[in-house]
Structure 1
């Protein structure tokens, strides 16, 4: 029992580390798909290495709870030092990236190397814990699967708790730094308890528990000399390779399913936590259930066939849920995501939808680990090596699957086809296991293989034509038509148009990952053009401009119409820029303007590595309640942006009034003004604009009048009724003293305490504009 309790704690702390360390590293590296994949690849690579080495280590040195204790203490000590190490890591990255002008690929190679350096030690220790404890706990072949399944289950249950607690309680209550330090102390405590338990254990236990060999009619010979020899070596290789492919599909599914669910669930931190928690819960329950059944099976052929059938069912169910995804907007509870009556309903529906679509395939995935361990292990004195091999090969497959899912499958095949391809791979894995089963009857293998193949073909034939597009069609209004749809590594983009409503405006809307980003009808056009014009008429002589986020390109295009030397635009998702031609009249065909320059990168990451300074920086990201967006609303980000402003430079920040509480608005305002002491507020429709500078601002009416009078500026501002300088100035809302009084006492949004990401979602279904 003490082993289970401690390993539950290991699972909890491990998931917390994964979430928080990834979050901190991507503050500097960026939240691009490539940056996140780089960090996770290094983390999971460490797990695989630790499992591989840990199993061999514990087999050579004999049973001993102490090795687990030492690993946990090392993890804990590293966690206590992590923030200091992270600071050095970030300084090295910025120094290299700024000094060497490495370009896109060079920067990502540096990110990969530095991620390995910072994560390899703790991740390797984490990976070693499962084979070490397997050696300690698995005492009899007759209960081997149950013992391993219990370990895997309690560790995964701990990870579920870590996922939920991190999102719903820990970060908004205590902040990231305090959590890492506390969790590090918990790891040290776990390690100390393990050492004490090991010291108190009776001597001589290694000799008593290491000698039991396999029993049963399936033993190939009377002498078993090595791992995997209870079955032919060829079949052992097939099992490991198949399990690697299964790991490949599992992580590819996770990437693809998460992307699909962002189209159904609003992409908040709580939605992602629900998806992760349900994914891990399915794995935990599957492992728990099958580990209680498989040890009672005396016919080893049935164990192998069970694994094969499970793989076939994973493939079939993972393809079949495409139908469920496409029908989701028709369910009565679907509207509760955006129209929840209260916070409790919002949370409930997130978990309900995640459970409906994910539980069956993840349950089946959870059954595979105990089954493969039972098949692959042949000697109880080589448990560590066996479990290490199984876990590490599956993890390596998962690393490749995660990378391929984000960068190859979705981009080149789309979400639906990618899910079908992964499902077919799982079915083929099962068929290969059936046909190569060395203890099974060939007739049984042929029959089950044929049934599996027929079932997957049938499911594929009844699939909808394009499930993600069908989900998007539920967003649009009557008479609205989809003009553009593209699935890319970082975003799924849809542009829809409703003709005939206006003679002046195109009434075209842009959706990014299921969220309405902006629109080209009057209100949207007014906000975007005003965002571009405002800092340009306030700054005395703006020449070098930076725009963070692209959207329809309207703000970018407005800025390029002024007398400037150049305008840089940083956009995280290249797919978004592909929609620019559909807004050509609104964005002044900005992509063909020689003054404009598109940079595909995370806005914050770009500022970390560039040496360039600007007269004006303007940003209009997605709503701050959406996951990851808060990185562009923190004190540290504004300090970084301020360091890239020239003397007298201006920072312009868009803040929505919709779906944002008064407390959150004050918090965001206070955060901005804490860096830009001289802050004013301007308003257009249901949005405000914070204008910040290091110097006291003044509104020069003559300058505004002169710049608005230029023919091209007058034309584009006239379309939104702001070409008159008096009308333009009337958008002024608060001077810096009023701003200071309004935001007084509000907490600040920081990298350590990104509060608005956790408070913001509570207002998404509330009418806050009034």
Structure 2
């Protein structure tokens, strides 16, 4: 679906290069300026979309706005083309009234040949040109590999909000833009050489490893305390401190490569810029896929960074070897960069990315970096306490309040629906709620989670989850929850949802009207739906909107709470009458596991926070949340 649009987007740079870079000897500088304005515009669009447009306009309207800007720019280009081809007045045609030098810039490349003389051509061999093309493709692989790794590490120190990745990407693009500006400025004053390309590659490799030291120092600095938590300003600052320096160097590569590969000859600038940019983009695609799906799971975040840095050093050394006219002092530059990088790697701290505050590596009982998630489990044996961190956020603590929440999620649906034939658990996590539900002998429990690392970590929670991984009734699915609902044709007697916080960019889609409509379609006629709704970190208006959105699909809804920051919606197709509640409490009293986990029946009855009448009054009138306008800002 995206290919036609991205194909056309990719065609704009070579076309604009052909129009704008018309002077031989200034090609690298001119395409660098284009790169500057294009990338700066991308950075502006990224930050506005993440912080403003999605929040106040909605996803669909943001797309319409982008399309309208495209149409406006396209109409402007067509109008300029018509003006450029219009017949000139007689005076202008005779050259009268034109200042010296006016009209040097050709605005319509099709109407006038590009200006460029062989004297401007760079003396670079055919082998050198092939090296530039291959090396720039590998540079694309490295750059996107770094972006994947840096985003994963920064995510550990962010709020995981919808705008978090936008802020990271904005800083990344801003660095590229400034680097393009710097490269363009330098090329106005001197010719590009392979030694420039090589020196930049060596610097990127060394700096990428040094950035790992900056990441390692972030927890000790407690910068979030300065900003009162994970604010937009805080997330922008840590992204700027860590990402901006290396991305500036990455941005300088484009004007240098543009100058080298075109040999500063303007006649073929469109073709050559399009070709070398295609090589770089193909490398970037491979880098994104290879780093995310292969290198990080196999090598880990830190070692993937080191491997990519080695590629930078190799490219730099090869470029300096090709540049035979370089300064003799630069012959030792690769060796110096390698030695400095080796030293920087040797003194790196342990490569565990746990979060902003948690650095107690000696308490780790599980750690794994996967395709999407970095999962760590810490244990405090003297307090009989464990806690999981998923990309730096605590998700499965075993304090008393949290355990009550997991137990209620597991016990209440089977108590409301005795004899259930099957159950669906979305967000398996470390399996405590699922293991609790499994004690009710439900024949089939489908448990879904995006993170196979969390499922693997469930083994260290065997005491808390009642060894659920050993149950033959459990069927695990590594998949997105909504995608599973769309794909399955099964009808479930119980659907339990324990998604992470709605402000989390990976979970907001489990709190919208479209999601609850999917739940309604897959819920059996006499089925029970239960979902955890957090109270902490949620603005009250958002909390009411979530409850109203559930109520819009399931009007027979009751709000439960085990105290602390945990609340739950429990919905059935028929109202939960006093008679039904009495039978639930009777079944609970007869089940020793339920009594041990939740207390006596009167304690369970005390977990009811609002029945239908009170809940309807609390919710009030207002909007329901849809996929188009969902935007949860973390409460401070």
Q: Please indicate the TM-score interval, normalised by the length of the shorter structure.
A: over 0.9
Quickly say closer, same or farther: Cα 1:253–1:697, change in 2 above 3 A: same
Give, in whole Å, the separation in 2 of the partners of 1:205 and 1:613.
63
Q: Partner residue of 1:416?
A: 302
TM-score normalised by structure 1 residue count: 0.77
Q: Partner residue of 1:377?
A: 262
Q: Does 1:488 align with 2:331?
A: no
Q: Partner residue of 1:252?
A: 145
Q: Partner residue of 2:317?
A: 431
Give, in whole Å, the separation in 2 of the partners of 1:546 and 1:214.
71
Give, in whole Å, the separation in 2 of the partners of 1:750 and 1:590.
35
Q: Is the 8 A contact 1:239 1:376 kept in 2?
A: yes
CA RMSD between the two structures: 2.0
Q: Is the 8 A contact 2:495 2:529 kept in 1?
A: yes
* Aligned-residue offset at 1:616: 0.8
2:600 counterpart (700, 717, 724): 724
Give, in whole Å, the separation in 2 of the partners of 1:217 and 1:606.
58
1:704 counterpart (571, 584, 587): 584
Q: Secondary structure at the match of 1:579?
A: helix
Q: Partner residue of 1:362?
A: 247
Q: Secondary structure at the match of 2:2?
A: helix
Give, in whole Å, the separation in 1 of the partners of 2:111 and 2:50.
46
Quickly say closer, same or farther: Cα 1:292–1:511, change in 2 above 3 A: same
2:567 counterpart (688, 697, 706): 688
Quickly say closer, same or farther: Cα 1:472–1:167, change in 2 above 3 A: closer
Give, in whole Å, the separation in 2 of the partners of 1:462 and 1:482.
21
* Aligned-residue offset at 1:334: 3.9
Give, in whole Å, the separation in 2 of the partners of 1:461 and 1:507.
34
Give, in whole Å, the separation in 1 of the partners of 2:293 and 2:446.
26
Q: Partner residue of 2:500?
A: 622
Q: Secondary structure at the match of 1:475?
A: coil
2:273 counterpart (387, 391, 394): 387
Quickly say closer, same or farther: Cα 1:449–1:166, change in 2 above 3 A: same
Q: Flag the structure with higher helix content.
A: 1
Gaps of 5+ in 2: 87-107
Question: What are the residue-to-residue correspondences of 1:308-387 with 2, within 5 Å?
Answer: 308-336=198-226, 339-340=228-229, 346-378=231-263, 379-387=265-273
Which stretch has the larger CA shift, 723-732 or 203-212?
203-212
Q: Is the 8 A contact 2:427 2:448 kept in 1?
A: yes
Q: Secondary structure at the match of 1:296?
A: coil
Give, in whole Å, the separation in 2 of the partners of 1:129 and 1:522.
58
Q: Is the 8 A contact 2:485 2:518 kept in 1?
A: yes
Question: What are the residue-to-residue correspondences of 1:196-595 with 2, within 5 Å?
Answer: 196-202=79-85, 206=110, 208-216=112-120, 218-219=122-123, 231-298=124-191, 303-336=193-226, 339-340=228-229, 346-378=231-263, 379-440=265-326, 443-466=328-351, 468-469=352-353, 471-472=354-355, 474-475=357-358, 481-501=363-383, 506-595=384-473
Q: Is the 8 A contact 1:244 1:396 kept in 2?
A: yes
Give, in whole Å, the separation in 2 of the partners of 1:668 and 1:734.
15
The structure with more radius of gyration: 2
Q: Secondary structure at the match of 1:564?
A: coil
Q: Is the 8 A contact 2:156 2:356 kept in 1?
A: no
Give, in whole Å, the separation in 2 of the partners of 1:126 and 1:319.
33
2:612 counterpart (732, 736, 744): 736
Q: Does 1:610 align with 2:488?
A: yes
Quickly say closer, same or farther: Cα 1:578–1:540, change in 2 above 3 A: closer
Gaps of 5+ in 1: 1-117, 220-230
* Aligned-residue offset at 1:748: 1.7
* Aligned-residue offset at 1:726: 2.0
Q: Is the 8 A contact 1:708 1:723 kept in 2?
A: no
* Aligned-residue offset at 1:747: 2.4
* Aligned-residue offset at 1:462: 2.1
Q: Is the 8 A contact 1:285 1:366 kept in 2?
A: yes
Give, in whole Å, the separation in 2 of the partners of 1:275 and 1:347.
11
Give, in whole Å, the separation in 2 of the partners of 1:424 and 1:402.
17
Q: How many residues align?
A: 612
Question: What are the residue-to-residue correspondences of 1:93-242 with 2, within 5 Å?
Answer: 118-202=1-85, 206=110, 208-216=112-120, 218-219=122-123, 231-242=124-135
Give, in whole Å, the separation in 2 of the partners of 1:208 and 1:702.
88
Give, in whole Å, the separation in 2 of the partners of 1:176 and 1:701.
42
Give, in whole Å, the separation in 2 of the partners of 1:202 and 1:323.
57
